[in-house]
Amino acid sequence: MPFLIFLTSLSLFAQQGPMRGTWSATDGKQKLVGKWTARTGAEAGAASGTWELVGKEGAVVAYGTWSLAKEPKSWSGSWAARLRDNRVITGEWTAQSDLDASAAFADMLRSAVSRVVTGTWNSGNLSGSWAIHTE
């Protein structure tokens, strides 16, 4: 089941400050939309944040957290979401990059202004790919 995420807006405040944006996705059947926040960690190779899935009526239908760690040419992390019925789902994700090995996560997000950044995700027996692009 393909899963594509596109960031439709990005706000970068201070280098170490919060980042905020919106995202849209498809699971192959429906379009999903939501918001995210991010904060870089004390180390340039770490970040974490929150995200939410907004339903058609504008109500938050799921919300959760995500985190990542930098590897030489990729970022990998985990995510968790709490659904309206209080079930929790979890998964992992990776992002590939051709940026210099010393690049920070914020650099990856900034690079998505001029090119699409891609990766993969999984949750149990579900998996797919995603892409971000900022305007």
Q: List the domain range (segments joined by +) for residue 77.
A: 4-132
The tens digit of pLDDT for each residue in 112-128 reads: 767 777 777 788 877 77
Does the predicted TM-score (pTM) go above 0.95? no
- What is the distance between the alpha carbons of residues 130 and 25, in angstroms, rounded to a whole number? 8
The tens digit of pLDDT for each residue in 20-67 reads: 777 777 666 677 777 888 887 766 678 888 989 889 889 999 999 999
When divided into structural domains, the chain yields a total of 1
The tens digit of pLDDT for each residue in 90-113 reads: 999 888 777 887 777 778 777 776
**Which stretch of DSSP H or E encloses residue 54?**
strand 46-54
List, in order, residues 6 or more apart from 93 with CB less than 8 Å away. 66, 68, 76, 77, 78, 79, 119, 120, 121, 122, 130
